[in-house]
């Protein structure tokens, strides 16, 4: 068993970065980025801007979904040779609907220390402020772009009782919300746009209500109530159901339970 000690050589650091507001960058994340030998990132242009804001200059290696398989082994070998490498995504926590899984797995299978530097994550931030149950939830990530595959995926999730969390692109948001309502039913939902940014917006209500109010702009998170989140029926409706089931009147119900 390999235990990665903070600040040790030969390690991969999975570093979370802001999803919008640069004030969310942690002191520990900055310390790690200043101390590593190399930073692996999705888009070097975006990472350069982030590092420049904090006065950090480090060699960057492009690591994204199209070169992930080949780069993972290369970066893993460099860490094994004694280099410290930080893995960052364009925004948020790496490996969560972002490249990074293969690099982390390579390191784990080759007994190379890996440590996580936690911080911003869009799914968790949206869920926390959604007003929907958060004691149990399922993070689904991005739905398939094609309608048939998307509806098939949602059909498989229809009976899931806990809150569901999705990512979605702005040009597909309306279609995704329509399919969510069609397959899952008109559940409560919260669509979150541009988290921590100037135009941050939370749209809460039934899926049928939020569809027409969501702007097709920015990065979006959809939080949807699970199949088990059904509101209890009104008292009057419950009482009438009991009377109908028992086949008795209100007076008879009163006589049965309350009259001594």
Taking only the tens place, the pLDDT of each residue in 174-233 is 999 999 999 999 999 999 999 999 999 999 999 999 998 999 888 899 999 999 764 444
For residue 232, what pLDDT is reported? 46
* Nearest-10 Cα torsion for 193, 42, 97, 177: 30
- Domain with 79, as residue range(s), is 11-120
Same domain, 80 and 113: yes
pLDDT confidence band for 68 (50 / 70 / 90):
confident
- Inside any domain, residue 4: no
Same domain, 151 and 237: no
For residue 97, what pLDDT is reported? 86
For residue 6, what pLDDT is reported? 45
Integer Cα distance of 176 and 182 in angstroms: 10
Q: How many separate domains does the chain show?
A: 3
Same domain, 257 and 193: no
Pick the more confident residue, 253 or 220. 220
| Rounded average pLDDT over 74-103 | 93
Same domain, 240 and 258: yes
Name, in order, each residue with C-beta under 8 angstroms of 220's C-beta and a sequence gap of 6 or more.
Answer: 167, 168, 169, 170, 173, 191, 192, 193, 214
Same domain, 205 and 248: no
């Amino acid at each position: 068993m390999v235990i990665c000690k903070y600040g040790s050589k030969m390690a991969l650091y999975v570093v979370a970065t802001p999803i919008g507001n640069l004030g969310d960058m942690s002191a520990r994340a900055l310390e790690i980025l200043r101390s590593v030998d190399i930073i692996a990132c999705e888009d070097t242009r975006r990472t350069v801007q982030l590092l420049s804001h904090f006065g950090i200059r480090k060699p960057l290696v492009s690591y994204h979904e199209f070169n992930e398989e080949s780069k993972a082994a290369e970066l893993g070998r460099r860490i094994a040779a004694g280099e410290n490498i930080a893995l960052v995504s364009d925004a948020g926590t790496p490996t969560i609907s972002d490249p990074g899984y293969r690099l982390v797995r390579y390191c784990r299978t080759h007994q190379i220390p890996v440590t996580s530097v936690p911080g911003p994550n869009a799914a968790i931030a949206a869920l926390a402020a959604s007003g929907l149950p958060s004691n149990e939830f399922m993070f689904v990530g991005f739905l398939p772009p094609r309608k048939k595959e998307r509806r098939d995926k949602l059909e498989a999730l229809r009976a899931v009782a806990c809150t569901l969390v999705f990512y979605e692109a702005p040009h597909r948001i309306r279609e995704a919300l329509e399919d969510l309502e069609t397959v899952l039913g008109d559940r409560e939902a919260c669509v979150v746009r541009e988290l921590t940014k100037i135009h941050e917006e939370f749209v809460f209500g039934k899926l049928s209500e939020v569809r027409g109010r969501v702007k097709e702009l920015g990065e979006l998170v959809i939080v949807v109530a699970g199949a088990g989140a059904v509101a209890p029926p009104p008292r009057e409706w419950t009482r009438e159901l009991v009377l109908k089931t028992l086949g008795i009147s209100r007076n008879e119900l009163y006589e049965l339970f309350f009259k001594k």
